[in-house]
Amino acid sequence: MKGSTEAPEIADRLATRAADRARPRTRLPAWVGRPGTRGWVWLLSVLCLGLTGVLFAVTGSAIAQTRDGLDVIGRDEGPKVVATADLYFALSDMDAQMANVLLMGSDHSLGDGRDAALVRYEQRRSDATDALLHAAQLAEGDATDEENVRAVIEDMSRYENLVAQARLLSDEAGLPAGSQPEEVVRLYRRAGELMRRDLLPKAYNLTLDSGATVRSTYQENSSAASVRMALVAGAATALLAALLALQYFLRTRFRRRYNIPLAAATAGVLVLGLGAIGMLEQQAVLLRTAKADGLDSVLALSRARAISTGMNADQSRWLMDPGRADIYEQNFLEDAQMVLFLVPDDDGVPGDLEEYTAEVAEAVPDHTAYPGRLLGLLGQEIHAGGVEGREQAQRRALRDYSAYLHADQRMRGRAEEEGAGAAIDARMAGEESVADHFDRYERSLVQLTALHTNTFETAVADARAGLRGWDAILPGACLGFAALVVLGVRPRLAEYR
């Protein structure tokens, strides 16, 4: 059979061609390959709708990230910083009040009296317990912070046991002010060392942990704020360009001068973009205010108050425990320099308490004219500007701090000239006593801290108010833009049916 060997190949080719013709084919619209007027309308419309989705996603992400940063500073870690700062002060004041109680001995009427000191001790003990409970709640889920809180609770229990024993032995001895049995001094010395070396550092570590989270969150938000605004601006600009291109195309091809839906969409995108960028910029400013002028200052001043309270306790220890008077005086100077560190113009930093007191007196009358620099926890808060009344509060705090240091020098001078009894009177009795000047100084610090606390709370509240409503505005606006695009091109596309 001639040619029979080629017949199968021919049959296969014919069968393949028949199968190809029978197989259904998916065809793209004719305008995709060579878009005419209708194709360009479709392409530009789809581009506008896609860019609307991009604008929604970018702006929504920026708002969510801004809200997260605000929650960390205004609701989570920020309040924890304040709570742990309160704990630091409460512990320090507990120790100061117990030092006063033991210094009084059997002379219960000295100063505000033994009963008042014990009431304040119990009040600070309650404050410390509340602050610990608050810190424990905020630390839940963080193993390190939870362990730190437990350590503070255990050390606080040990401290209370030591001072309770010292107080009981002091009551049994019934000795006059400034005279305590050696065992009382030894027990309170152990309690004071526990407070200074363990309790207060651990309490401050809680503050540092929360403060580190606040700082990192703030830095991340600050560095990302400009990027977020740039992304929102870029997305809005791209959408505006696409809308303008679509309107131009419709105008030239269809001889329609205006397209009201597309013009409305263009105006809406412009308003939304500018509004979102302005809101994000304002959020960055408010976050900076809450952190720098609010929380940082509250933390610095709260610690200055706590350290000053420790200085107050060191004065009582200096009088009650002469064997370690030099150590307590050096502790007082070191704490004073943490509160306000002065660097004279000749860099001759005061080397002892008397020189330091004189240098502070020189800086106080007009700190703006002081030729040196004011550093330390209080010094870094002394600057111009800020909320109304802050500069007056700063000057008052400096003035009262200087007066407190001068009262301390008078007390030490009377101890050398007239003995411990006269020094105790200078420490606790009368309107011009050390205790009286300390109360005035402490009130000044509290008032200055309250101004910064109000700045923090106001900035956080304003930031929350600025974010309110955007969860509804953003999706509503973007859906509206999409609807307007459809309304704007639908009549033109209908002409091709």
pLDDT at 490: 84
pLDDT at 268: 96
SS3 4: coil
Q: pLDDT tens digits for 456-468? A: 999 999 999 999 9
Looking at mean pLDDT, say which of 42-46, 418-422, 478-482 comes out highest. Answer: 478-482
Q: How many CA atoms lie within 13 A of 44 on its CB side?
A: 25
Find the DSSP H helices in 105-199. Answer: 114-139, 143-173, 182-194
Going by C-alpha positions, the residue among 394, 392, 387 that lies closest to residue 301 is 394
Q: pLDDT category, 2, cuts 50, 70, 90?
A: very low
pLDDT at 125: 92
SS3 419: coil
pLDDT at 134: 77
Q: Which residue has the higher pLDDT, 250 or 387?
A: 250
pLDDT at 7: 56
pLDDT at 37: 76
| Residue recorded with tokens 């309490």 | 203
Q: pLDDT category, 296, cuts 50, 70, 90?
A: confident
- Distance, in Å, from the CA atom of 207 to the CA atom of 131, rounded to the nearest integer, reads 12
For residue 3, pLDDT beyond 60: no
| Residue recorded with tokens 């920020």 | 78
Find the DSSP H helices in 385-433. Answer: 390-418, 420-428
Q: Which tokens is 350 given?
A: 């005061």
pLDDT at 147: 85
Q: pLDDT category, 205, cuts 50, 70, 90?
A: confident
Quick check: 479 and 272 in contact, CB under 8 A?
no
pLDDT at 16: 54
- Distance, in Å, from the CA atom of 264 to the CA atom of 307, rounded to the nearest integer, reads 62
Q: pLDDT category, 30, cuts 50, 70, 90?
A: low
- Distance, in Å, from the CA atom of 91 to the CA atom of 215, rounded to the nearest integer, reads 25
For residue 34, count other CB atoms closer than 10 A to its CB. 7
Q: Determine the average pLDDT of the residues in 277-286.
A: 93
Q: How large a percentage of the chain has pLDDT more than 70?
A: 91
- Distance, in Å, from the CA atom of 62 to the CA atom of 422, rounded to the nearest integer, reads 66
pLDDT at 165: 95
pLDDT at 71: 86
Q: Which tokens is 313 given?
A: 């306790």
Quick check: 402 and 361 in contact, CB under 8 A?
yes
Quick check: 298 and 456 in contact, CB under 8 A?
yes
- Mean pLDDT check: name the lowest of 258-272, 316-330, 341-355, 434-448: 341-355
pLDDT at 443: 94
Q: pLDDT tens digits for 48-97? A: 999 999 999 999 999 999 998 888 888 777 777 777 778 888 999 999 99
For residue 12, pLDDT beyond 60: no
Q: pLDDT tens digits for 336-365? A: 999 999 988 777 788 899 999 999 998 887
Q: Determine the average pLDDT of the residues in 279-308.
A: 90
pLDDT at 56: 96
For residue 224, pLDDT beyond 60: yes
Distance of CA 210 to the CA centre of its chain: 9
How far is CA 216 from each of CA 72, 284, 325, rounded to the nearest angstrom?
A: 10, 15, 42
pTM, two decimal places: 0.80
Q: Which residue has the higher pLDDT, 138 or 301?
A: 301
pLDDT at 11: 55
Q: Which residue has the higher pLDDT, 37 or 245?
A: 245
For residue 323, pLDDT beyond 80: yes
- Mean pLDDT check: name the lowest of 226-235, 247-256, 299-308, 358-367: 247-256
Please enumerate in sequence order all residues whose Cβ is within 8 A of that of 285, keeping only pairs 6 or more positions apart, or say none.
none
Q: pLDDT tens digits for 109-128? A: 777 788 888 999 999 999 99
Q: pLDDT tens digits for 128-187? A: 988 888 777 767 777 777 888 888 899 999 999 999 999 999 999 888 888 889 999 999
- Distance, in Å, from the CA atom of 401 to the CA atom of 441, rounded to the nearest integer, reads 6
pLDDT at 223: 79
Q: pLDDT category, 5, cuts 50, 70, 90?
A: very low
- Tell me what the pLDDT averaged over the chain comes to: 85
